[in-house]
A and B are shown apart, each in its own frame.
Chain A
């Protein structure tokens, strides 16, 4: 790629990121609604952790349970944002009726999708960070053993695989304007169920555990909990890190190639248009 072409792609990339932040600004009331909803959900999970001692009647490490539930809720919130923003990028353009203009612009599809992912990561970190701050007001969190460097590492590695998964899912609204988004949400709900967001996957029936092993969220959640609750380092968590690296290395390029292929299919079928 020539330096001129690279400069063009970088400008296009910034255009996508800036546009999405402009959306966030303009739809601030909805942002507030979603923020309050996610925050309330996280706080509720924290209180469930706190209340388990009363249910069981035995003495438990309540602080550990609270943090366990909160980490599940906040990390799932972050991964969901990543997945949703990327997966719904096509659907969003269709709702706004701008899809034809974006897809006929001289921009590489990889630039288009990866820039959307870049925004999703920035937005997800900001939002999850803010939720963590608000939630910490409600609970006396013991973060004395937390290894934040490892946590950041897990967050970075898991982001790749979730972005890849999001790009694969983005194909659904591309090829099925009417049903694509619904299927994306079903897929997201199944990820939540199989990945042990609020429990260890060992409690699941064996067949569900096998499915859970294919989800990057399983390793991301386990790694994040090990970093924050037990202060583990990245090498100590290698059993969770390598599947994340592998899934990211497979899903991201596969997602881009798959999307490109399906874009050609959509152009043949005539579904790359404003209405279904």
Chain B
């Protein structure tokens, strides 16, 4: 399998009130084409910073990311044509309808109107969206529904790589399950490479082919979920993914979140 994403020693720091916050301290990753790669870490660990660099929205201080061989900074236009993103907030024009939002998005990617409408209807049906409601303003949709529309927006452009930045955070359990099953469904039927960031250990274990644990801006462990769990055999009985996180970071996800917030 070819490399879909190759990150080499990414360093990124932000200045906030004269203080320098080092968000990424030398991240290197390799994601193979067609796999779901999970980037796990607590809030503030650097997951979203990494996604924003891959999305061409942020320029790293050092290092580089290439997506299907194109550099995210020097060849950002080529990268933009191959990627799309679903983030924690659905991010739509709230007063506009789902169709108006989706047609706008389709236009930005150069998709003709007729083709866009065909895709919107097909994907909406497939992802369980009520077609009649697509003409309603997005502000009238539940968060779960908005997230489904965000997934339609992303897949409409047929990205070779999809960046999923905590797509299930803040959703109710049912909506969360729906979005997770959509991701599984896409994995089984399309050849889209996905980078999923999450702090939900169960979600990572369930959906990802490969995971990397990021803590305080560094990758502290990586491997297939089963392999990482195997490393704990003998130390922990019937290890869970929570135990994996504890083993490699020295703290639980809740403690790590507290620490990351404090250090920020």
Contacts and interface: CB of A to CB of B under 8 A. Distances in A.
B197 interface: no
A9 B110 CA distance: 7
Nearest to A27: B95
A26 B92 CA distance: 14
Contacts of B12: 270
B98 to A, nearest CB: 12
Interface stretch (A15-23, A128-136, A205-213): A15-23
Contacts of A268: 59
A11 B108 CA distance: 7
Interface string B15-31: 10000000000000000
Nearest to B12: A270
B107 A11 contact: yes
B93 A96 contact: yes
A53 interface: no
B94 A270 contact: no
A89 to B, nearest CB: 13
A107 B96 contact: no
A100 B57 contact: yes
Nearest to B107: A15
Contacts of B106: 15
Nearest to A270: B14
A106 B80 contact: yes
A11 B93 CA distance: 19
A12 B92 CA distance: 17
A12 B59 contact: no
- The interface size bin for chain B is 35 or more
A261 interface: no
Contacts of A15: 103-104, 106-108
B160 interface: no
A93 to B, nearest CB: 9
B32 interface: no
A105 B80 contact: yes
Interface string A96-107: 111011111111
Contact of A107 (B83, B87, B92, B108): B108
Interface in B63-83: 77, 80-81, 83
Contacts of B94: 96
A264 B83 contact: no
Contacts of A22: 93, 96, 100, 104
A14 B85 CA distance: 23
A7 interface: yes
B105 interface: yes
B109 interface: yes
Contact of A267 (B59, B80, B87): B59
Interface string B40-76: 0000000001001001111100000000000000000
B91 interface: yes
B239 interface: no
B89 interface: yes
B56 to A, nearest CB: 6
B173 to A, nearest CB: 25
A11 B111 contact: yes
Contacts of B109: 8, 12, 105-106
Contacts of B80: 104-106
A272 interface: yes
Contacts of B59: 264, 267-268
B93 A98 contact: yes
Contacts of B14: 269-270
B57 A23 contact: no
Given A23-B93, A268-B59, 8 more contacts: A14-B107, A19-B100, A100-B52, A101-B85, A104-B83, A267-B57, A267-B59, A272-B57
17 contacts: A11-B110, A12-B107, A15-B106, A18-B103, A22-B104, A27-B95, A96-B93, A96-B94, A98-B92, A100-B57, A100-B87, A100-B91, A106-B80, A268-B59, A269-B14, A270-B12, A274-B91
Nearest 10 A/B pairs, CB to CB: A15-B107, A8-B110, A105-B108, A106-B80, A26-B95, A106-B81, A267-B59, A19-B104, A104-B55, A268-B59
